[in-house]
Amino acid sequence: MSTDTGRPEATGTRVSFAGVAAKGSLINSTQWLINKGATAIAMLIVARFLEPEDYGVANQAIAIMSFMVFFFPLTMGDVLISHHRQFDELAPTAGRLAVGFGIFTSLSVFALIPVFLSVYPDWPPFWFGLLLAIAACRPALDALLMMPLTRLRIELKYGRIAIVDGLVQIGATVASLGMAVVGWRGVSLVAPQILGSLGRVLCYRRTVPVAMGGSFDRGAARRLLGAYLPAASAQYLHNILVMLELLVLGLAAGDYQTGLFAFAFQVAAQANTVVAYQLGVVLQPILGHLQDDRARQVAGFFRVQRVLGMICVPISLLQAVIAEPLFRIAFPERFSPAVPVFQVISLAQAVYFATGPSMSCLRAQRRFGTFLAWQSIQFLVSVPIYLLAADRGGALGVSIASALVWSASAPIAVWLCARVTPGPHLRETALVFLKPWLAGAPVFYGAWLLIGDLGTRGPLGDWGAVCLVGPGAALITMGALALFDRDMRRIAVKVGTFIRDRAMRSRRAPMS
């Protein structure tokens, strides 16, 4: 007899959390890969109907929203995961706190819209105000989403998360296309995200049993807030750091330069988000289960980071070398100034991939103070650098400054996660980043030279660069890394087995 407990299977007394992580990441990333394919196609179409300024106004509204959400409701879920053994005891109080924070934040943003319009007097007031009002709904929806999503994450039920998120994302993509076609400009970039959040709330709260009964416990509230406040502060700073380039550009360089950066970032971050962000969602609850076995936790963390680097670095280098032919094929000429910005952001993704799992590890270790200190120092360093870069170089200057800052910050985060155990952690941290770069740099340098030659041969040469030369270089790099890394070979075998089994099942289905 089998039961669907949502817990990982054990061999003897040891639970195969690595297997759960691989399977959970594969399920979630497969869903995201399918949806990101659809999103990429939609992005190509949406770009035909929008101007760079539309991307600037829309993303500035989202950036301001991040600036305003200090009490991020979903961070309460991270606190619950780090106290997963007391989930039923703490859940009613945590749910009420999250809802209170979410509603308060949404109402605050609504009330401050006139202030934001006065800070940005040169921006289109109707569209900017409307987008701020739409974005203001997000915290309240996230608060309602927190409890059911946290329960699913604790129970490691990634299949259900993948199904719901996949269906919602498809709906949001279709909505974005429709809004762009009918002339809703920046609304087509912001409103679908909010509709997607509403869809997730409705689906999760209807299908996931969450006990909201019980009285508000002041003692539990003090325990939760003791962990939540540093965690929320750290998450707030991280959210600001992710949007800081846009906030600085919006104030210092106007909507056009902001739009160039926003568009380039939106395109460049798609691929690595599939892998790194989804693995971060999967990783935190698993590392939380290992919080009493720090040696095993850190070893698993480094294994994940090494495999991530061997996937994300080749993808990032691929994007950088095919940027010019890709933009000539896919996007209108008015977006061509975003090419160098896209290249720099793509190269930055080759180090940024490590931040998601690092944040998950620090949360699972309950080291919220360390998380806060890391992000506080980065924020204090970034602000003056970005302001100077925006003033001197616009979108390109800020993208270069951002790449340099994250190139220092991401390795520091990996090292901080490992410091809880003894060992040669500086060496292991360096290998996470250096190994894929050493393998990929000569391959992609050759690909870059060949792509430059193909660029002189017209559209056929561009298609060859995007479809053959760039992907070929990425596959060669990943293959070379797999030859010398056991974990990479194991992942490749598991992915191949998973695809083969699914194909066999699909062939048997019509016969049954």
Phi-psi region of 293 (alpha: psi -120 to 50; beta: other; left: phi over 0): beta
pLDDT at 246: 87
CA angle, 46 then 239 then 185, to 5°: 20
Sequence letter at residue 481: L
Q: Look at the block and give the residue holding tokens 């497969």.
A: 30
C-alpha span between 17 and 9 (Å, rounded): 8
Tokens for 491, please give them.
């992942």
Which strand (E) or helix (H) includes residue 11?
Answer: strand 10-11
C-alpha span between 130 and 33 (Å, rounded): 31
Tokens for 160, please give them.
């259900």
pLDDT at 77: 79
The CB density around residue 149, as the number of other CB atoms within 10 Å, is 23
Residue 340, classed as helix, strand or coil, is: helix
Query: For residues 193 and 137, is the Cβ–Cβ distance under 8 A?
Result: no
Sequence letter at residue 456: T
Query: For residues 318 and 470, is the Cβ–Cβ distance under 8 A?
Result: yes
List the pLDDT tens digit at each of the 512 positions of the chain: 333 333 444 444 444 444 444 454 455 555 555 555 666 677 778 888 888 888 888 888 888 888 888 787 878 877 777 766 777 777 788 878 888 888 988 998 889 999 988 888 878 888 889 999 998 898 899 888 888 888 877 776 767 777 777 788 788 888 888 888 888 888 888 898 899 889 888 888 777 766 555 677 787 788 788 878 877 787 788 888 888 888 888 888 878 888 889 889 888 876 665 555 555 555 545 555 555 567 777 887 888 788 788 888 898 899 999 999 999 988 888 888 999 999 999 999 888 888 888 887 887 777 878 888 888 899 999 999 999 999 888 999 999 999 999 999 999 999 998 887 877 788 888 888 888 898 889 999 999 999 988 888 888 998 999 899 988 999 898 888 877 777 666 666 665 565 566 556 655 554 44
C-alpha span between 253 and 203 (Å, rounded): 41
C-alpha span between 44 and 49 (Å, rounded): 10
pLDDT at 7: 41
- Which contacts qualify for 219-224: CB closer than 8 Å, 24 or more apart? 220/89, 220/90, 220/93, 220/94, 221/93, 221/97, 223/83, 223/90, 224/76, 224/79, 224/90, 224/93, 224/94, 224/97
Residue 83: partners with Cβ closer than 8 Å, 6 or more residues away: 90, 223, 227
Instruction: Count how many Cα atoms sit within 13 Å of the Cα of residue 421 in the half-sphere of its side chain.
Output: 20
Burial class (CB in 10 A: 0-12, 13-18, 19+), 456: exposed
Could you please report the per-residue DSSP string of 96-133?
HHHHHHHHHHHHHHHHHHHHHHHHSTTS-HHHHHHHHH
Query: For residues 98 and 148, is the Cβ–Cβ distance under 8 A?
Result: no
Could you please report the per-residue DSSP string of 153-196?
HHTT-HHHHHHHHHHHHHHHHHHHHHHHHTT-TTHHHHHHHHHH
Could you please report the per-residue DSSP string of 215-249?
---HHHHHHHHHHHHHHHHHHHHHHHHHHHHHHHH
Query: For residues 148 and 204, is the Cβ–Cβ distance under 8 A?
Result: yes
pLDDT at 12: 40
Which strand (E) or helix (H) includes residue 450?
Answer: helix 425-454
Task: Tell which residue, 84, 200, 213, 91, has the closest CA to residue 153.
Answer: 84
pLDDT at 210: 65
pLDDT at 405: 93
Tokens for 391, please give them.
């003033």
Which strand (E) or helix (H) includes residue 14?
Answer: strand 14-15
pLDDT at 39: 66
Could you give phi then psi for residue 90, rounded to 5 degrees? -90, -20
Which strand (E) or helix (H) includes residue 15?
Answer: strand 14-15
Residue 105: partners with Cβ closer than 8 Å, 6 or more residues away: 68, 69, 70, 71, 139, 140
pLDDT at 286: 53
- Which contacts qualify for 337-342: CB closer than 8 Å, 24 or more apart? 337/260, 338/52, 338/260, 338/261, 338/263, 338/264, 338/395, 339/264, 340/396, 341/260, 341/261, 341/264, 341/395, 341/396, 341/399, 342/264, 342/267, 342/268
